[in-house]
Amino acid sequence: MIGHRRGSLRIQYTILIAGILAAVIAALWVINATQLERYAIMRKQRQIKEEISQIQTCADDNFSSESLEALEREIRNSNIDTVIVDHLSDTPYLVYASSLNQAERLSAMQLLFESTEEDEELDEVEVYERTDDYLICRGFNKRMKNDEIECIGYLGEDILYFMSTPLEGIQDSVALSSRFLIYLGLFAIAAGGLVMYLAAGQLTRPIEEMAEISGQAAELTFDRRYEGKENNEIGILGENINLMSDNLSRAIRELREANAQLERDLREKEKVDEMRRLFLSNVSHELKTPIALIQGYAEGLTEGVADDPESAAFYCEVIQDEARKMNQIVRRLLSLDEIESGEMKIEKEVFNVTELIHAVTDSMKVMTAEKDCDWHLMMPEEVFVDADEFMIESVVSNYLSNACHYVSNPGTITVRVLERRGRAIISVHNTGNPIPESELEHIWDKFYKVDKARTRSYGGSGIGLSIVKAVITAHGTRCGVRNRDGGVEFWFELDAVSHETLRQNEGSVYSYME
């Protein structure tokens, strides 16, 4: 669109200037053709009047040679033929004549001057000016066959003068001037148009550049800027366009950021709503079974179904066991909420994680007593970490508890501790069925269970791994799970503390390790 209109302003300026020049030349031509001849005639009339004054001077000087020479110079300059006749005596005599060819017109003009307005002679001429002393008119010289401006008059009662100048020269001058003006006008229009076209390029180039910049801005592209340095309105316009582009770019960027944040907030809200819905559904599901069992066995006791002490004791044991499970679910949910909300503060301290693992594995061996299961502990004697020991114990207990419940029979549970790049990596591997790949990313979700029937059989709630994820995230490290070596391996990382660091801090916060 912009490319299609490029140069239009330049052409419009050129046409405008050429049109103005043409209009001016045309107006000058019309004025020249209609008014130049009239102006020339008026100028000749003034010259005739000036010669009348000069003749009066000569008459006052009795037509001395000096005064006649001055008159002759005036006549030559004005190109007005002049005849002066003295009527002082009964026989008129010629005082001065610049051209004897005009003497024959003297009698006719004298009769014309002495005629009245009612005489028909005046109808044949165009009178320019008539006074008591002279008559200026337009006449026709039959011998020369051309129009003339003629003047006849008296100085007092004795001196008669007659002046004439041809109109043909004036008319030729007017025609020549008009023709020359046409040629000059055509040249002026062409030259002016060319000059304006070139000059308009300098004027319109920054405007075209700003038009392209504004076009890109309309497409929300603000990379290009106007670099002109004109110290005029165009420069101000360029600066304003740059300022507008900067403001629009910033506003659109902020709007996009706000829109992106709004989308993230909406997605987060949807996620939270979905999590809330799933949470309520899972809590209801988890609590439904123990509540139903407690209600059923309590009604049985009330109705006397357990009529012997042994049955009553069994009913009470079931009620206690289900209440314990409900209490465990509620406590774990409260702990998870405190960790995720940040209410439970992490109290880091340096401790030997291998010692903690030994303590937890010793307590877990009772759970695997009925299974043909071997324990492999592959770790150094001392690996010091900087973490919350109580929380890390719950993580290790959860990993080992899951391994004990899901290990194959016979099977092996392997615990490894490695130090690498300032991190202690703790992993728990148990042989047994792998977790489906599609389930791996979901096992950290609240109440998520891969094998729901088996989880229920040993009292699992699906909250333990969610707590693990929250604890490790609160420590700023990572945890994960993978299928490997015919089983499943869970792992997590902690910040390791080197022995050199321990020695540097010996006697301070780590003195309890001595």
Contact 250, 222 (CB under 8 A): no
Q: Which residues pair with 134 in a beta bridge?
A: 153
| CATH 3.60.15.10 corresponds to the domain 345-513 | no
Q: Confidence band (pLDDT; 50, 70, 90) for 89?
A: low
Residues of the chain with CATH 3.30.450: 8-174
Position 190 scores a pLDDT of 83
Closest of 369, 358, 425 to residue 397, by C-alpha: 358
pLDDT average, residue stretch 303-329 = 74
Q: Per residue in 12-71, pLDDT tens?
A: 777 888 888 888 888 888 887 787 778 888 888 888 888 888 888 888 888 888 888 888
Position 272 scores a pLDDT of 72
Burial of 150 (0-12, 13-18, 19+ CB in 10 A): buried
Pick the CATH number of 8-174 from 1.25.10, 2.60.40, 3.30.450, 2.30.140: 3.30.450
pLDDT surpasses 70 at 6:
no
C-alpha distances out from residue 362 to 2, 61, 366, 376, Å: 82, 158, 8, 12
| Global confidence as pTM | 0.43
Residues of the chain with CATH 3.30.565.10: 345-513
Q: Confidence band (pLDDT; 50, 70, 90) for 427?
A: very high
Strongest mean pLDDT among 126-135, 207-216, 219-228, 336-345: 126-135
Position 4 scores a pLDDT of 46
Say which amino acid occupies 201: G
| DSSP-derived secondary structure for 193-205 | HHHHHHHHHHHHH
What does the alpha-carbon distance between residue 217 and residue 225 come to, in Å, rounded to a whole number?
10
What does the alpha-carbon distance between residue 447 and residue 279 come to, in Å, rounded to a whole number?
8
